[in-house]
Amino acid sequence: MRYLKYILVLTIVFTSCKTKKYAIDSNVIAKEMSAKKVVRKHVAANFNKETIDAKFKANFNDGKTKQSISVYLKIKKDEVIWLKGTKFISVFKAKITPEKVSFYSPLERKYFEGDFSMLEKLLGTEINFKQLQNLFLGQAILDIKKEKQNVAIVDNSYVLSPQLQANLFDAFFAVNPGHFKLDNQSILNSLKGQRLDIKYPSYKLVKDEVYPQEINIIAKQKGKVTSIDFILKSVEFNTDINTSFTIPKGYKRINL
């Protein structure tokens, strides 16, 4: 009985430690920390599973069209991003790889197949596969290790910004002091009058992985504002996912 008691005590201690290690603590206060250490912790917090199978509610508004749809997201990390939007019936399907973007709409019977210009037009900024993937993971869409960063504590977030901002745009990344994923990130192109803001109001802990529970995207261009809000309904990691994609015959090609 004495040994059983010791085993029970050790089990409780180690279980408590593990729970504490992976808990999302929203009460952590940001303390002074070097930019280099914040960058290192943010990179270390990157998603490390192989696949994502998620369902979101998405609210879209570009000033002309306003609608809410269900969006199914499947990701093979660094290989494929697969999306399907439905509202009673399929609204769109898309498959994105590092090489190209493929998209079609059963409602309009139109399709697009080509480079990332379609997404760049939607978001108002240049974007590639890795950046889009990071957007869905709560990670910086630019390589914050590439340039030396400044850091400041603003609204209890570590705000990183390159010491030498790029000629065409400014970038800012607010890192959460609790789990070191992003609270928000912004890309500004003053010359073109473009701004991309991505906010992550909350995260969910799933199998020791901190994953965005809500993503708010606001893309501003001259005379146009597009907002897309993603609200997580369910998510699974490391499952077998089907990312097959075929553009139906008879659809009209969209030229951008």
Q: Structural domains in the chain? A: 28-249 (2.50.20.10)
The pLDDT score that the predictor gives to residue 78 is: 96
Binned at pLDDT 50, 70 and 90, residue 161 comes out as very high
The pLDDT score that the predictor gives to residue 2 is: 37
Three-point CA angle 214, 56, 242, nearest 5°: 130
- CA pair distance 82, 97, nearest whole angstrom: 9
Neighbour tally for 81: CB within 10 Å: 22
The pLDDT score that the predictor gives to residue 170 is: 87
150: three-class secondary structure by DSSP: strand
Of 16 and 222, which is predicted with more confidence?
222
- CA pair distance 41, 173, nearest whole angstrom: 13
Stated as kind and residue range, the H or E segment containing 43 is helix 35-44
Q: Indicate if the pLDDT at residue 158 is higher than 50.
A: yes
The pLDDT score that the predictor gives to residue 82 is: 98
Binned at pLDDT 50, 70 and 90, residue 23 comes out as low
The pLDDT score that the predictor gives to residue 144 is: 93
- CA pair distance 163, 147, nearest whole angstrom: 7
Which residues, in sequence order, are CB contacts of 97 under 8 Å at separation 6+? Answer: 79, 80, 81, 129
